[in-house]
A and B are shown apart, each in its own frame.
Chain A
Amino acid sequence: MSAIAGDAVGVLDRMTCILEAFDGDDRGMGISELALRARLPKSTVSRLVATLVRQRYLERDGKLIHLGLRLFELGQLAEQPRELRIAALPVMADVRNRTGENVHLAIRDGQEAVCIAVMRGRAAGPSIVRTGGRLPLHATALGKAVLAHTVGDDVLPATLVPWTPQTITDPSVLRRQLAGIRRGGLATEAGEFVGGVSCTANAIFAPGGTLAGAVSVSGDGEEVDADRVAQVLRAAAMTITRRLAALRAPSD
Chain B
Amino acid sequence: MRRKNLTQFFGFGFLYLAMLLALMSLGLILYFVSVNGLKVLSWEFLTQVPRRAMTQGGIAPALVGTIYLTVGAILFALPIGIACAIYLCEYSPKSVIINVIRMSINNLAGVPSVVFGLFGLSVFVKFFGFGVSILSGSLTLGIMILPGIISAAQEALLAVPQSLREASLALGATQWQTIRKIVLPTASPGILTGVILSVGRAAGETAPIMFTAATFYTRGYPKSIFDEVMALPYHIYALMTEGTFPEQQTLIAYGCAFLLMLIVLIISGFAIFLRQRQRRYEFV
- Mutual binders A and B: no
Q: Which residues of A contact B (CB under 8 A)?
A: none
Q: Which residues of B contact A (CB under 8 A)?
A: none
